[in-house]
Amino acid sequence: MFKNYFKTTFRSLRKNTTFSLVNILGLSIGLAACIFILEYAFFQLSFDKYHHKSDQIYRVMNERFEGDQMIQRGQITYSAVGPQMAGDYPEIVNYTTVNTFDGNVFLYENKASEISSALLVEPSFFEMFDIEVLAGNRETLVSENYQIVLTESMAEKIFQTTDGDWTDYLGTVLEMGSQRSKWQLSGVVADPPTNSSIQYEALLSRVTTFSLWGESARFSWNNSDYFHYIELAESVDYSKFQEKFVDFSEKYFRGDKVTGNLEKFHLQPLADVHLYSDYEYEIHETSDGKMVWVLIIIAGFIIIMAWVNYVNLTTSKSLQRAKEVGIRKVVGASRPQLVRQYLTESMMLNLLAFVLAITLVQALQVPFNNLVEENLSLLEFIFLKLGSLQVFVWMLIILLLGSIGSGIYPALVLSGFRPSQTLKGDYGKSTQGRVLRKSLVTFQFILSTALIAGTYLVMKQTRFMKSQDLGLNMEQVVTVEGPSLANFDTTIVIHMNTFLNKLEQNAHVIKAGTSSNVFGSRMPRVFDVRRLGQTEDHMLNRMGANYGFFDVYQINFLAGRSFRPSDHKEDPRLIDAAIINEKASKILGFKTAEEAVNEKLLFFGQEWTIVGITDDFHHRSLKESIEPMLIIPIYFGYSDTYQIRVSADNVPQTLAYIEQTYNEFYPGDVFEYGFMDARFNSLYKSDEQFGKIFNLFSFLAIAIACLGLFGLVGYTAVQRTKEIGIRKVLGASIPDILQLLSMEFLGLILLANFIGLPLVYFAAQSWLERYTFRTEIGWAFFALPLLAVVFISIVIIIGQTLKTARLNPVQSLRCE
C-alpha cells in the first residue's frame, strides 16, 4: 500500500512540476531560514552554559543610592563583600573575586607584545569555572605573587611558536610595562570559547595586588573596584536567598554611615549575564535577550508561513484531483486509506524540502557567518542538547508534526466527500474552501506587513542614532594608544607636550590632544563633588584632558574658556582648574553657564576653580542619556590616549608621520591607532547586526508569502479560465479581467494591513522605549508596508493572470 502511495506522490510531482517546485522551494527556504535563525539564537542562548556549575554560579550586583537617587548600578563593588558573604551564609559553598587589568605591554626577549584584556583572579576562579589547562598545575596557577597564565593564542603570539607543547615555557619571566615588573609564567590555558561572556588573553594572580595596593585590595568596605562571584549549594533558591542581603547591607553598611551611600545587593545567574545585562562598568560580553527572542519568533513565523503555503497550495491542487478521489472511493478505497495517502505525500514533500534546506544551509553557512560575525556550525547546532534531546531529534519531531499538520486538512476534507460530489468537482465552489484560502492568505500578509514595518523601524532607529548631532565632531580624529614602556616621572608633562607639538608641525595635523578616557567607554566617577560653602555632594563623571582636547573635538563652550598649557602642572597637587558640561552645572545648582564661571568646587580633598562650561555632548551611545561631566587638566600617565585631528588629504602619509614620530618618542613600544568615529560607531554594532539579521529574514518571510500568492493566483486563474473566456466573448477587455482577478486578493491584503499595523505599532512603541534617544514612528511606518505589499501583490497578480487573460476565448472554452 505504501509503495503505491510513494508512486502516486512521485507521479503527482512530475505531473505538476511548477506547482511542486513552488511548494518545495517555499518549504525549503522557510526551513533553511528557520535553521539559520535558531543556529544563531541558540548560540546566543548557550553563553556560559558550558560551565558544569553554570546553574549554581551567580555574580553579586550592587546598587548604590544617594538619598533616593540611584547613582551606580553594576557588578563593581567593595572588596569585602564577597568574602564576607561567604563567611556569613553557609548556602555559599565557594566564591571568587576578580579585578580588571588594564591593557599593558609584556616583554619577552626584548620583543613587546600587548595584552589588551586580562583579569586578576584567585585560585577559586579555576574551581568555579571550567577552564581547560594546557600546561601548569591547576591548583597553584595564581596562588603566588606575580604569576601569569596566558591563553594559548597569546602564548603563540609572545613565544612565536604553534607546537602546542607549553611545558618547557613554564617558569619563563615576562617583563611588564615601564616598571619592568617581572611576572612568571605559571600556566597556559585554552582560549575562552566563543560562547563565553568572560573573554581574556591572560589571567594574573590577584594576590599580587595585596602587596601593591595594600590590605584594602583584600578586604575593604570603601575600596570599590572589585567583582564577586559566588557558588550556591544545589538546593538553594537564589531568589529567596538574596532576600537576606537586606540585613547584610544594614549590618555592614549601616545605612549610609560607612560609604556615604545606601548599598543594596542582589544576585544575577551566570547563565543570564550575556543576554539580560544592562549594567555599568560591564566586564562581560553582552547582547540583547529580547532581540534574540524576537528572532526566534520570526523563525516561528517563517516556518508557519511556509506550511500555510503548503496547505493553501495543496488544497488548490487537490481540486484537480477531486475526480481521482471519487474514483478511488468507487473502487473501494476507504477514508483512512485516502488520509494516509495525502499524509504520505505531505511527509515526502516536507522531507525533500528539508534535505534541500540542509543543502542550502551548508552552502550559505560562510556568508551567514560573515553577516552575524560568528563562527557558527550546522553540525555543532544539530548535536546541541536542548533539554534531554539533541537538536536534530527536535528538528525531526517538528518536521513530522509540521508534515502531519499541513497535510491533515486537505486529507480530511477531500477524503470526507462523497464520490458524487468529487466526481462533479464541486469542492472548488464550496464556501469552506474559499474561506480557508482567504484566511490563510490574510494571515500570511498580516505577518508580512508586520515584518516590513519592523524592518523599516529598525533601519530608521539605527540611522537616527548614527546621524544625530553628538555635540562634538569625531570625523577625521585618529586615536593613538599611549605608550606602556615609557617611564612615568615628573617630566611627563613636558615630554607629552613636546610630542604633541611635534605632531602639529605636520601641515596635515590640525590639532592634537590627550585624554584619560576615549569616547564610547564608561567614565570613572567622583561621588563627593560639592560647591564651596554647601554641604550637598553630587556624583559627576570624571576624565582628564589636556589643553588641545577640546579643539580636537570642536566642543562648544557656553561660557568661560578651555584649558591652557599653564593649567597643567608637573606637581598634580597644584592643579586646580576644572571644566564641566551644562548638565553638571545644572546639577550643581547654577542657573546659567555664566554664573558657574570662576566658582569653586570641592573634591579630591581640595578646591578647584571652574574655568569653563561646555555644551552637553554625548560620550556614550544614544541609547543612554547625557551624563554630567567633570574634566580636569591632569595627565593620568602615559596610558592616556592621544587624540589627533587630521585633514582629509594624504591620510596614509599623515598616519605614517604620526607613527614615525611616536616611534621616535617611544622606541620599542607598540603603536596602535584607530579612527574615533569608527570606534564610536562600534557601540551600535549589536543594533546594526540585529538589523541586518532582521532585514534578511523578514525579506525571506515576505518572499515565502509571495510564493504562496504566486501559486494561488496561478491556480485561481486556471480555475476561472472558462469564466474569463465567457467574459471576453461578452466584451470584457484585458484590464477588466485583471481588475476582476486582482480585487479579491487586494481586498485581503488591505484587511491584513488593517489588522497587522495596529498590532505592530504597539510592539514598536515598546521596542523604542529601550532607547533614551529615539526616532518618531511617523506616517511612513503605516504607509510603507501597505504600499510595498500592494505593489508586490499587483506585480504577482498581473504576471500570473496576464497569460490567462490574453487567451483566445475559443481556446479558453475548449480548455474548459
Prediction pTM value: 0.83
Lowest-pLDDT range of 64-68, 119-123, 459-463: 64-68
**What's the residue count for the chain?**
816
Top-ranked range on mean pLDDT: pick from 394-403, 480-489, 490-499: 394-403
Residue-wise DSSP of 577-601: EEEEEHHHHHHTT-SSHHHHTT-EE
Average of pLDDT values for 770-797? 84
> How many CA within 13 A on the CB side of residue 761?
15
Distance CA 435, CA 720 (A): 17
Does 1 have pLDDT greater than 60? no
Cell of 427: 469542492
Q: How far is CA 615 from CA 71, 521, 524, 551, in A?
A: 22, 20, 20, 14
User: Exposure pattern of 442-469 as b/e (b: 16+ CB <10 Å)?
Assistant: bbbbbbbbbbbbbbbbbebbbeebbeee
Whole-number pLDDT of residue 67: 74
Whole-number pLDDT of residue 434: 64
SS3 730: coil
Contact 221, 258 (CB under 8 A): yes
Does 5 have pLDDT greater than 70? no
Nearest to 714 by CA among 791, 796, 792, 813: 796
Does 374 have pLDDT greater than 80? yes
Does 711 have pLDDT greater than 80? no
Average of pLDDT values for 360-383? 89
Contact 369, 694 (CB under 8 A): no
State pLDDT tens for residues 134-183. Answer: 999 999 999 999 999 999 999 999 998 888 789 989 999 998 876 788 99
Contact 508, 648 (CB under 8 A): no
Residue-wise DSSP of 19-85: HHHHHHHHHHHHHHHHHHHHHHHHHHHTTTTTSTTTTTEEEEEEEEEETTEEEEEES-B-TTHHHHH
**How confident is residue 558, by pLDDT bands cut at 50, 70 and 90?**
very high
Does 125 have pLDDT greater than 70? yes
Cell of 13: 510531482
**How confident is residue 422, by pLDDT bands cut at 50, 70 and 90?**
low
Contact 123, 142 (CB under 8 A): yes
**How confident is residue 677, by pLDDT bands cut at 50, 70 and 90?**
confident
**How confident is residue 810, by pLDDT bands cut at 50, 70 and 90?**
low
152 contacts: CB under 8 Å, gap ≥ 6: 134, 164, 166, 188, 189, 190, 191
Tell the burial category of 201 from Cβ atoms under 10 Å away from its Cβ (0-12, 13-18, 19+).
Answer: buried
Does 48 have pLDDT greater than 90? yes
* More confident call, 368 vs 318: 368
Whole-number pLDDT of residue 319: 59
Q: Write down the mean pLDDT value for the chain.
A: 84
Whole-number pLDDT of residue 13: 66
Top-ranked range on mean pLDDT: pick from 248-252, 668-672, 806-810: 248-252
Whole-number pLDDT of residue 418: 62
Does 403 have pLDDT greater than 90? no
User: Exposure pattern of 49-65 as b/e (b: 16+ CB <10 Å)?
Assistant: eebebbebbbbbbbbbe
When computed from its CA atoms, the radius of gyration of the chain, rounded to whole angstroms, is 34
| pLDDT > 90 in the chain, percent | 31
Lowest-pLDDT range of 338-352, 522-536, 748-762: 338-352
Does 93 have pLDDT greater than 90? yes
Average of pLDDT values for 1-30? 72
Lowest-pLDDT range of 112-116, 322-326, 464-468, 688-692: 322-326
Contact 690, 373 (CB under 8 A): no
Does 498 have pLDDT greater than 90? no
Q: How far is CA 299 from CA 346, 359, 379, in A?
A: 21, 18, 19
* More confident call, 740 vs 185: 185
**How confident is residue 488, by pLDDT bands cut at 50, 70 and 90?**
low
